[in-house]
Chains A and B, each alone.
Chain A
Amino acid sequence: MNRISVNVDGTTYEDEVEPRLLLVHYLRDRLGLTGTQNGCDTGNCGACTVDLDGASVKSCSVLAVQADGGEVTTLQGLARDGEWHPLQRSFHERHALQCGYCTPGMIMAARDLLRDNPDPSPQEVRNSLRGNLCRCTGYQNIVEAVLAAAAARESVPAPAAGGERT
């Protein structure tokens, strides 16, 4: 067993974990944060995508011990004081989700994209989401939602210090 300390969505947790415990199962089974899904076990579908220390990772391919001392953001930590993240809003407004299973990972991956490239082209959005599979939507509305979130972000002033990092 290894002792780890991880900050998830603003709360710090300390736990004894098996070395083989995957981050996705640590979040889900130990912390009860079931908003992050496990879809394929092999890093292909992206449903388990979370942010670890400023980069998006597939939490089915990261050990919990690797997150020791780190900061994890999941879908459940995106809204601030009841205010939705622009991607949450645009996914709703563009009908970019159906069953919702891929959505947490899709939004976390899109957030990562917009951090690197705040003004992506439609094809850049499609290429960057290659590692996130959706079986319901055919992706079109997801692409539109990401583009809409990018546009909305450009049109509002940058958040004050202490706001969301993106």
Chain B
Amino acid sequence: MSAFGTRVNRVEDQRLLTSGGVYVDDLRVPGLRGAAYVTFVRSPVAHAVITRIDTSRARAHPRVVAVYTAADLTGLPAPRPFGRPAHSGGFFAEPLLAGEKVRFVGEPVAVVLTEARYDGQDAADLVDVEYRRLPAVVGPAQALHDGTLLFEEAGSNLADQRDRDTYDDTVFDGADVVVEREIVNQRVACVPMEGRATAAVFDGTRLTVWHSSQNAQRCRSTLAESLGIPAEAIRVIVPDVGGGFGAKIGIDRDAIVVAWAAWRSGTAVRWAESRAENLVAMTQGRAQLNRVRIGGRRDGTITAYRLDVVQDAGAYPRTSTLAPVTCTMAPGVYDIPQVQTGYRVVVTNGTPVNKYRGAGRPEATAAIERAVDLFAAEIGMDPAEVRRRNVIAADAFPFRTGTGALYDSGEYGAALDRLLGAAAYPRLRAEQAARRDKGCVNALGIGISVYVEMTGGGGETARVTVDGRGHATVLTGSSTQGQGHGTAWSMLVEAELGIPVDRITVVHGDTDLIPKAVGTYSSRSLQLGGSAVHQAAADVRNQARWHAAGLLAVRESDVTLDVASGTWHVAGDPGRSLTWDQVVGHTGAGSIRADAEFASERPTFPFGAHLSVVEVDTETGMVTVLRHMTVDDAGPVLNPVLAEGQRHGGIAQGIAQVLFEEVRYDADGNPLHATLADYGAVAAADLPDFELEAGETPTDVNPLGVKGIGEAGTIGSIPAVQNAVIDAVAHLGVRHIDMPMTPDRVWAAIGEAGTERRSRR
């Protein structure tokens, strides 16, 4: 474990910095020579019945290879309907191509295969689709009215619900103060820099699919299920992936259609979506309408909390986990005697919603951390003090929450105090007061969040092999989208076997080499994938020790591995030493190999505290983030370089959601953004340098003692920044502003608060 805490620059960078990575659209492999380009015909309307599809003009195009619609998707298994039958009736099934009805702008209706890339859009434009428009259901509030139904046979837009019948208002009866408010966690686009991309070829026996994904193995099982062919007949290869952020977990309908087109046409095919497609047809994130109710005493004690979630699933529910995770994590870091949660999942005429960095946890944290600030404002207490009085005590772990989560370890109060110390919190408050006294146009805001999140859980596989040249190969089920698994896994193997990083190869994302794996999401890689690598390496070390003992003619217990030099020798006698190639040579098998499958029964619960300092121009509503400080604790840190990179990226994505990003629709369900010129992506100029501190509270649920760090930055930063903006204008009477906190919204909130104050006078 000596590798822990070492700053190691990445082994993956060489290629990426000199020739660029090899992403799906970069593949020039022989199997894809002459591949046809796939172009989708997508619905331009949000909700309509398809009355006619005429592909004859497209088929007549001289360079069109094939045109397919839902009518060609014959002999395939029926799509699996979503949801628990008790609630959904199993009606919410998503087809591969829309045939009878379209339910969101961007829904795929047909595909054309062309010889050349640029012919694709020409030919797609020749597919005539007639739509009979229906009223659109825009947003979750409208969906609940059931005025217009997306799935008539379901009789409702409600796809799932839980526990709302258990709400008991009496738990708030004893509170001095009760605050209730609706909080929007807006719909955002995931926007990995590489959009979705797929290539496929069918050789008559096997279907090979290259796909930009977070887990090749789930792609394979989904393809097998969707196409009705055995998994063994499918090979999925994931080359370099240009970012995932949850939106590339598994494989979605568009990519399944691409793979099917290769199988059906006998032609190799390739597809890389445009950004305009990506912004309407890749799954989106968040999209919750939450209602919080918080009650407590004037001494700062929170006594009861309720979180009621409405999850906008988009046109087709693709996941059953978002709202339940939000409910599980509802009480956050606080020891609240009474917690009630419940949710409804509704369908709307928007892009389907699925996992996005944090996937249910940022929503829970945003709700409770806003609620605590609302409560603090109501009782007139400093929000840091309210938090300090309610966090779960350090000696209470493992701690079972009222929502059933078992928090493994935590030092919430210490993280908060350390953060406040690093930020010189009283001085910030003094500056804020001074600016207010002077009536400064640029108001200062200080926002705090203390968070706990849930990562990992489940299992992962690894195989470590040391060959006759003394080189190690790691086959890992945990594949990378830029996190640096190659570097991290090499560090683990080097620490265990003494084989230097430059003699270690890490392989992932190929179902022929790694048939069984779970993949990368939920900040699970190091704690599960890394633990599996660690265990496999330890197994290899034990096997090698046995062989070395034979060669050295001593007892196993007398043999040690000198990790620094990578040699085996008799304890106390370094003169008699063996190198790895000598030990492997002795086995007669050509290699020493071990497989490991690590599973943890429980997830881990990383935590931390964020403090954001913002400036709000009260005349324009413009927000500038001046400083963002964090204390993040995900247990021991293997490679601080990688961990800090994850935190930086996570914070930036959080700030982006708070200040800029929102997928919006007009009343007819038309998305109001088609390009990155319209969608508020965050740029370098919008952000400050982040100030990071780290704690290292270990967990006992895996041998490395580690928790996940991939999503913490996003989870912690969102409420800190949102609270900071509201704090900046609190003296003007503003109590809440929903995200994204664009200048017009902030400006309007200031104006409304002023009007209210004047009318009260």
Question: Contacts A99-B21, A127-B684 given; 16 further ones with Cβ under 8 A?
Answer: A34-B28, A37-B23, A39-B193, A40-B676, A75-B17, A88-B17, A92-B10, A95-B642, A97-B17, A99-B241, A107-B17, A122-B689, A131-B683, A135-B245, A138-B653, A139-B684
Pair B645/A44 contact, Cβ less than 8 Å: no
A155 to chain B minimum Cβ distance, whole angstroms, is 20
Pair A21/B118 contact, Cβ less than 8 Å: yes
Q: Can you list the 8 inter-chain pairs with the closest CB atoms, starting with the nearest?
A: A99-B482, A35-B20, A101-B242, A138-B652, A138-B648, A100-B16, A98-B482, A34-B26
Tell me which of A32, A104, A137, A140 contacts B689 (CB under 8 A).
A140
Instruction: Please provide the chain A residues from 84 to 138 with a CB less than 8 Å away from any CB of chain B in the complex.
Output: 84, 88, 91-93, 95, 97-104, 107, 122-123, 125-127, 129-138
Pair A139/B275 contact, Cβ less than 8 Å: no
Pair B17/A135 contact, Cβ less than 8 Å: no
A84–B276 alpha-carbon span in the complex (Å): 35
Instruction: Please provide the chain A residues from 25 to 45 with a CB less than 8 Å away from any CB of chain B in the complex.
Output: 25, 28-29, 32, 34-42, 44-45
A87 to chain B minimum Cβ distance, whole angstroms, is 9
A6 within 8 A of B: no
B690 within 8 A of A: yes
Number of interface residues of A (CB under 8 A): 58
Residue interface bits B192-208, CB-to-A below 8 A is 1, else 0: 11100000000000000
Tell me which of B26, B641, B683 contacts A133 (CB under 8 A).
B683
Tell me which of A95, A104, A126 contacts B645 (CB under 8 A).
A95
Residue interface bits A122-166, CB-to-B below 8 A is 1, else 0: 110111011111111111111100000000000000000000000
B13: which A residues are within 8 A, CB to CB?
91-92, 97, 100
Tell me which of A29, A39, A137 contacts B117 (CB under 8 A).
A29
A142: which B residues are within 8 A, CB to CB?
684
Pair A91/B684 contact, Cβ less than 8 Å: no
B22: which A residues are within 8 A, CB to CB?
34
Determine the residue in chain A with the shortest Cβ distance to B16: A100
A95-B641, A98-B483, A139-B684 known; A75 vs B118 contact (CB < 8 Å): no
Determine the residue in chain B with the shortest Cβ distance to A76: B19
Pair B684/A101 contact, Cβ less than 8 Å: no
Tell me which of B644, B676, B684 contacts A42 (CB under 8 A).
B676
Instruction: Please provide the chain B residues from 688 to 702 with a CB less than 8 Å away from any CB of chain A in the complex.
Output: 689-690
B486 within 8 A of A: no
Pair A135/B192 contact, Cβ less than 8 Å: yes
Determine the residue in chain B with the shortest Cβ distance to A75: B20
Sample (20) of A-B pairs whose CB atoms are under 8 Å apart: A18-B118, A37-B23, A39-B275, A40-B676, A44-B675, A44-B681, A88-B18, A97-B482, A98-B645, A100-B17, A101-B242, A104-B20, A125-B684, A126-B687, A132-B683, A136-B649, A138-B653, A139-B648, A139-B687, A140-B690
A139: which B residues are within 8 A, CB to CB?
648, 652, 683-684, 687
A39-B194, A40-B675, A141-B645 known; A127 vs B20 contact (CB < 8 Å): no
A8 within 8 A of B: no
B19: which A residues are within 8 A, CB to CB?
35, 75-76
Tell me which of A42, A100, A123 contacts B20 (CB under 8 A).
A100
Determine the residue in chain B with the shortest Cβ distance to A104: B20
Tell me which of A25, A79, A137 contacts B648 (CB under 8 A).
A137
Residues of A within 8 A of B (CB): 18, 20-21, 25, 28-29, 32, 34-42, 44-45, 47, 75-76, 78-79, 84, 88, 91-93, 95, 97-104, 107, 122-123, 125-127, 129-143
A135: which B residues are within 8 A, CB to CB?
191-193, 243, 245, 649, 653, 681
Looking at A45, A123, A143, the one whose CB has the most chain B CB atoms below 10 A away is A45
A18: which B residues are within 8 A, CB to CB?
118
B650: which A residues are within 8 A, CB to CB?
138
A27 to chain B minimum Cβ distance, whole angstroms, is 11
Pair B684/A129 contact, Cβ less than 8 Å: yes
Pair A133/B193 contact, Cβ less than 8 Å: yes
Pair B649/A137 contact, Cβ less than 8 Å: yes
A79: which B residues are within 8 A, CB to CB?
18
Pair A99/B481 contact, Cβ less than 8 Å: yes
Tell me which of B18, B118, B192, B690 contacts A99 (CB under 8 A).
B192
Determine the residue in chain A with the shortest Cβ distance to B650: A138
Number of interface residues of B (CB under 8 A): 57
A124 to chain B minimum Cβ distance, whole angstroms, is 10
A35–B484 alpha-carbon span in the complex (Å): 19
A134–B192 alpha-carbon span in the complex (Å): 9
Pair A92/B9 contact, Cβ less than 8 Å: yes
A104: which B residues are within 8 A, CB to CB?
20
B430 within 8 A of A: no
A25–B240 alpha-carbon span in the complex (Å): 20
Residues of B within 8 A of A (CB): 9-10, 12-14, 16-23, 25-26, 28, 117-118, 191-194, 240-243, 245, 272, 274-276, 481-484, 641-642, 644-645, 648-653, 675-677, 681-685, 687, 689-690, 713
Pair A76/B117 contact, Cβ less than 8 Å: no
Looking at A32, A41, A98, A125, the one whose CB has the most chain B CB atoms below 10 A away is A98
Pair A130/B18 contact, Cβ less than 8 Å: no
A99-B482, A130-B684 known; A138 vs B649 contact (CB < 8 Å): yes
A32–B20 alpha-carbon span in the complex (Å): 12
Pair A101/B243 contact, Cβ less than 8 Å: yes
A137–B651 alpha-carbon span in the complex (Å): 9
B424 to chain A minimum Cβ distance, whole angstroms, is 21
Looking at A76, A134, A143, the one whose CB has the most chain B CB atoms below 10 A away is A134
A162–B147 alpha-carbon span in the complex (Å): 72
Determine the residue in chain B with the shortest Cβ distance to A47: B193
A88: which B residues are within 8 A, CB to CB?
17-18
Pair B17/A101 contact, Cβ less than 8 Å: no
Determine the residue in chain A with the shortest Cβ distance to B7: A95
Pair B645/A101 contact, Cβ less than 8 Å: no
A18-B118, A25-B117, A135-B191 known; A99 vs B242 contact (CB < 8 Å): yes
Determine the residue in chain B with the shortest Cβ distance to A25: B117
A160–B676 alpha-carbon span in the complex (Å): 41
A135–B687 alpha-carbon span in the complex (Å): 13
A42-B675, A84-B17 known; A100 vs B684 contact (CB < 8 Å): no
A34–B191 alpha-carbon span in the complex (Å): 21
B420 to chain A minimum Cβ distance, whole angstroms, is 23
Tell me which of B16, B28, B276, B689 contacts A41 (CB under 8 A).
B276
Determine the residue in chain A with the shortest Cβ distance to B656: A135
A106 to chain B minimum Cβ distance, whole angstroms, is 9
A92 to chain B minimum Cβ distance, whole angstroms, is 4
Determine the residue in chain A with the shortest Cβ distance to B278: A40
Looking at A34, A107, A130, A142, the one whose CB has the most chain B CB atoms below 10 A away is A34
A102–B112 alpha-carbon span in the complex (Å): 29
Pair B9/A99 contact, Cβ less than 8 Å: no
Determine the residue in chain B with the shortest Cβ distance to A29: B117
A92-B10, A95-B642, A126-B684 known; A84 vs B243 contact (CB < 8 Å): no
A130–B686 alpha-carbon span in the complex (Å): 9
A141–B641 alpha-carbon span in the complex (Å): 10
A44–B674 alpha-carbon span in the complex (Å): 12
A143 to chain B minimum Cβ distance, whole angstroms, is 6
B675: which A residues are within 8 A, CB to CB?
40-42, 44
Determine the residue in chain A with the shortest Cβ distance to B675: A42
B163 to chain A minimum Cβ distance, whole angstroms, is 35
B21: which A residues are within 8 A, CB to CB?
99-101
A62–B676 alpha-carbon span in the complex (Å): 18
A32: which B residues are within 8 A, CB to CB?
28
A41-B675, A103-B17 known; A133 vs B645 contact (CB < 8 Å): no
Tell me which of A28, A34, A102, A143 contacts B193 (CB under 8 A).
A102
B444 to chain A minimum Cβ distance, whole angstroms, is 20
A46–B226 alpha-carbon span in the complex (Å): 37
A158–B690 alpha-carbon span in the complex (Å): 34
Looking at A37, A133, A136, A137, the one whose CB has the most chain B CB atoms below 10 A away is A136
B687: which A residues are within 8 A, CB to CB?
126, 138-140
A154 to chain B minimum Cβ distance, whole angstroms, is 22
A42–B14 alpha-carbon span in the complex (Å): 29
Pair A133/B676 contact, Cβ less than 8 Å: yes
